[in-house]
Structure 1
Amino acid sequence: MIRSVAVPVLPGVSPFEFATLCEVFGIDRSEQGLPTYDFRVCGVRAGEPVASKTGFDIVPRFSLDAMADADVIAMSAGSAREEDYPDDLLAGLRAGVERGALVISMCSGAFALGAAGLLDGRTCTTHWMYADELQRKYPRTRVDPDVLYVCDGPVWTSAGTAAGIDLCLHLVREREGTEVARALARRMVVPPQRSGGQKQYIETPIPLRGTSTLEPLLSWMVAHLDQAMSVPMLAERAHMAPRTFARRFQAETGTTPHDWLTTQRVLLARQLLEGSDLTVDTIAARAGFGNAAALRHHFGIRVGTTPQAYRETFRVSRQSA
């Protein structure tokens, strides 16, 4: 059971991730039968304004000392880096783990956990844009840039933006029970559960490197994803020998024709699952997979979930359009 949640805030704090923590843990919903938490927004000094990254200040009621007995310490995203973290913050994070508290991070908040040494020997995640940097700065951790969140012992980390909601709801589910998490998700109007192992949803536009001689062909491929394509056929359309075409394609897109084509087909399937009533079989045909089994196979590899589960989570309601 969660009794208290401490949220340290530093200059450059990201409002969305901070607001997610406030929404899940900081609002009194006791009238709806939901738990109420001792929610503490902590700054280096209590009452001293902390500038967010979007032009307004947050005034914490508590100092960092309020972390000392919190059940959960939640590090929001922000622009701070290792040299900017107060020693009292890093000591408080380490002390939290040592006494059995749960320490979580939202998006780039993982850098604070790394600076405190809490990621050493653990698997973690962060927003995919920061994954390489986090891995370079803290090589003793293993950064998984694909997943929504990672729970490794007392240290839990989430990917960017909405993945923080998933992590918080998972925490509520683990500590308060499924019904509480489901009721809270309904109140927030968000999906009640996305698996932490589900991959981050990174848009995949047509990837080009510099000036492309293949751009007309790539555009044609995207417009005809339902058609069968082979390297010899594509090479002929590009007026190249197959081997020359394969080398040029790799140089300009950074991948093989087959892999590039599969990625574009999965992207189209995602769009159709989100915004249409088409059956999975029809979507498989439209995207060029031929049948639902092939779609499920490639969709699982690249997205980390099934087409049906993806649709249930991300379906765009026509009534709300």
Structure 2
Amino acid sequence: MRLLKELAAEGVSPWWAAGPWEQPPVLDAVSCGFRGIRMPFGAPNGVVRAACDSLRESGGFVAFAAAAFDGGDDPAAWVAAARVLRSGVDRPNLLVGVPANRAGIDAVTGCLAEGIGVESTCVFSVRQYRAVLDAQRTGLELARARGVDLAALGAATSCDLGALDAEVNARLDRLSDGAASGLRDTAGLATARLLYRTREMTLACERWQSLRECGARPPMLLWSQTRPEQVPSLVSWNTAHVLTVETAEAAARGHGLQGDTLMGRHEQATRALRLLAERDVDAEAVGEELLRARFG
């Protein structure tokens, strides 16, 4: 698919959001150009294993959510669930998904320290992301001290931009101020730009540079639940789009990519969020509410 090749040329990994089928055609997805896969919750370990194998040669990852049903507020429960999932799939390019609530962020450190790749999900704010980056760095440092091969260890963070935009839009729609309608669909892009800025500034610090010198991969940023028209506006190095086939096809029918849209755009993003705040819509607070609604 042309769009997937264009994204890859810009340093953006297209990931396939696999549907809720018992046997997703992972080989077809890889042959189309997807470089990562997010598996649906509850997929059999054998299917996840096959997905990992299909991407292993190209260096791609498969994300698969863990479930700590009886201890969702306990970091140790999430680490234990990740340990079981990693053992069951038994592939180094598996990323175990944990939520970016307080317990899940603490679990990131424990997972990485044990050599378990991890994806932090449902990040909606810069505050959350800073905490995730701190946990990723600490976990990688512990892994290095234990002799884990950092080059084989993946760390990723995904932001559900679709949910953030939808909730902010709903609040704007309730305002009587007609000018507020012009701010629809601005929160997701602005947040993405600030997350990207946060990552690039953080990775420039001495402790991250030391990890990179030991082979650590820079942590990935994944955009999920995006609309087709958002895809061209979320392009920059070491990011990824988690797309359904339908979204990818619809995005391909739109306008082409226009180069990097995230780097150096933090001032524009700050202004966009300030305009929302002036109409009593705090995007970061909305993100915190979305997180609490999902995980308490």
TM-score normalised by structure 2 residue count:
0.31
Structure possessing the higher radius of gyration over alpha carbons: 1
Structure with the higher fraction of residues in helix conformation? 2
Structure number with the bigger relative contact order (C-alpha 8 A, sep ≥ 6) is: 2
